[in-house]
Chains A and B, each alone.
Chain A
Amino acid sequence: MALDAGPAVAIDGLVKRYGAVTAVDGLSLRMPRASILALLGPNGAGKTSTVEVCEGLHRADGGRVRVLGLDPVDDARRLRPRVGVMLQDGGGYPGAHAEELLRLFAGYARRPLDVDLLLDALGLRAVARTAYRRLSGGERQRLALATALVSRPELVFLDEPSAGMDPQARRALWDVVAALRSDGVSVVLTTHYIEEAERLADHVVVIDHGRVVAAGSPRELTDAGTDAELAFHAPADLDIGALRGALPGGPRVEHRGRGDYAVHGPVDPHLVAALTAWCAGADVLIDDLRVRRRSLEDVFLALTGDGAAP
């Protein structure tokens, strides 16, 4: 498959409304090929609406969306065969067996993956002859993943792929997503599991109220803020005021009790050097010193206002 240039997904100023509700409100993003992009956001943030516009299931009310360089609605006939989709609620004939459904989806593709291999790999062999309506939530999710992969797509959209999966299945999903990228497949996934985004994604886009509130690699997002802290343990009777005066920029110093201290603010080598120098001057032994970065969870909660900033 020739790798044509250009992003896998390019969205400029997407607007999507349902009646009076604006689900997506001027969202823009760009995703390079063969990478993993996570749309992270709380429920109702507009993740599914964004993905479903990209899948051509809904027409955008504003803005421009290009998927593999094509318009998801106008070029649907050319685009759909190249894209694999896992919807949030799965979707299958209620009376059809899991294997029957997977073979049906394989039949839409010119060179599908081996159905037996997928059934075994995703733990669906035991329910191969079970009707779709009798599958558990986790089984439906794994079947939906299989249907998204079976056509050997260039780009895969996974909407809340790990919802309802047990830890083992989630682990398997993560392995498969990483393997997709290694094989040159682009993956867009939505999630509200921060760990999933942090672990898998090359690029995280945090969405809230239909807008992008932050974007970057997990590292960039966690580095960006000024909320890192320098935590150390020392005798419980330090003169905090004197310490603060000795540190560059006069950061906030907090004694959390029993000798646990925290220095808040941008942590850089000068701050560490100044802290240790002051302690040496005061003949104080630090017996534990750690730089604590913000986790993506801290960033997420701070940005989406679902909790107090750390």
Chain B
Amino acid sequence: MNTEPLLRTGALAPAAGPAPLARMVARQTRIELRLTLRNGEQLLLNLILPVLFVVVLVTEPFVEIDGGSRSGFFVPGVLALAVMSAAFTGQAIATGFERKYGVLKRLGATALPRSALLLGKTGAVGCLELLQILLIALAAVAVGWRPHGSPLAVGILVVLGTAAFSGLALLIAGTLRAETTLALANIVWFGLLLAGDVVFPLSKFPTAVADVLGYLPTAALAHGLRAVLRDGHGLNAHDTLTLLAWAIVGLTAAARWFRWE
């Protein structure tokens, strides 16, 4: 330790001022994304498992579907799973531990506005989703997937799904202990993998149950994406409004109850 350079006259003279807001948001996005891509569990959850699911579910007859192309059913489901992994499970776990390690409190005492912190988080989730969609699509095309429909409709569904999952992620990460958040986020991920129209078609459930499960955000996103990507339809009201409702409820509740420390 050699503090001498700091002790020279004027070395610590005040020259304070905030960086431009856009630069702060860009840097925040970059570090959030870099930390996610560095974390082995996040990579497994967000990239490795979805790509693996696409290849295995499309090529191996583990799960029967009700006719039609296997890739047409499973690829939209896995895309919905990937959005849930990035925006809900991954974001909840990361944010929960950031709270535990005091980073959110510490950032609250810097020039970084909270809106810029949240924009950075959202930007990082968005970049991760683009990477997921690219890798999943490449793997899917390699096993014979041919997408249909409007990319704009896909984009709107992904944005709505991201908003819905982010609200829920911030709600649990901002109110529960990090360890509880970790457990809950994983349990919910697994539950929705099975009951969210991702690997098991909802038609396998009794009709009454399937109708209820159809309101889960993962199921709405998977179903909505399937209508576009497999059937070439536009946005359907049921799935779009379901996601919108989850987004409003989740983000409102998170804004109300999120605690920074």
Contacts and interface: CB of A to CB of B under 8 A. Distances in A.
A81 B17 CA distance: 5
B108 A57 contact: yes
Contact of A122 (B3, B24, B35, B261): B3
Nearest to B108: A57
Interface stretch (B95-103, B142-150, B209-217, B244-252): B95-103
A121 B110 contact: no
B1 A57 contact: no
Contacts of A149: 6, 12
A286 B174 CA distance: 71
Interface in A33-88: 55-57, 77, 80-83, 85, 87
A104 to B, nearest CB: 6
Contact of B24 (A91, A107, A111, A151): A107
Contacts of B111: 80-81, 108-109, 151
Contact of B109 (A85, A111, A118, A175): A85
A183 B14 contact: yes
B259 to A, nearest CB: 12
B102 A90 contact: yes
B35 A175 contact: no
Interface string A97-136: 0001000110111110100011011110000000011000
A297 interface: no
A93 B38 CA distance: 12
A172 to B, nearest CB: 5
A259 interface: no
Contacts of B67: none
A22 interface: no
Contacts of A90: 102, 106
A154 B16 contact: yes
Interface in A126-162: 132-133, 147, 149, 151-154
A124 to B, nearest CB: 9
Nearest to A100: B31
Contacts of B27: 104, 107
A185 B14 contact: yes
Contacts, number: 151
Contact of B98 (A56, A93, A108, A185): A93
Contact of B6 (A93, A96, A121, A151): A121
Contacts of A81: 16-18, 111
Contact of A80 (B101, B109, B261): B109
Contacts of B107: 91
Given A95-B38, A154-B14, A183-B9, A107 B3 contact: no
B5 interface: yes
A89 interface: yes
Nearest to B42: A95
Contacts of B101: 91-94, 132-133
B60 interface: no
Interface residues of B, number: 44
A308 interface: no
Given A110-B19, A111-B15, A91 B102 contact: yes
B2 interface: yes
Contacts of B109: 55-57, 80, 83, 85, 87
B17 A121 contact: no
Nearest to A111: B15
A95 B15 contact: no
A179 B39 CA distance: 40
Nearest to B97: A94
Interface in B4-30: 4-7, 9-19, 23-24, 27-28
Contacts of B7: 175-176, 179
B12 A180 contact: yes
A226 interface: no
A121 B5 contact: yes
B139 interface: no
B232 interface: no
B105 interface: yes
A80 B18 CA distance: 9
A21 interface: no
Point out which of B1, B19, B103, B113 has the most chain A C-beta atoms below 10 A from its C-beta: B1
Nearest to B31: A104
Given A77-B113, A122-B1, A91 B103 contact: yes
30 contacts: A1-B13, A57-B108, A80-B109, A81-B18, A82-B17, A87-B105, A87-B109, A89-B102, A91-B107, A92-B103, A93-B31, A94-B103, A96-B35, A100-B31, A104-B28, A104-B31, A110-B15, A113-B12, A120-B2, A121-B2, A133-B101, A149-B6, A151-B16, A172-B3, A176-B6, A176-B7, A179-B7, A179-B12, A183-B10, A184-B13
Interface of B: 1-7, 9-19, 23-24, 27-28, 31, 34-35, 38-39, 97-98, 100-113, 261
Task: Please provide the 3 A-B residue pairs with the shortest distance between their CB atoms, ordered closest to farther.
Answer: A91-B106, A91-B102, A123-B1
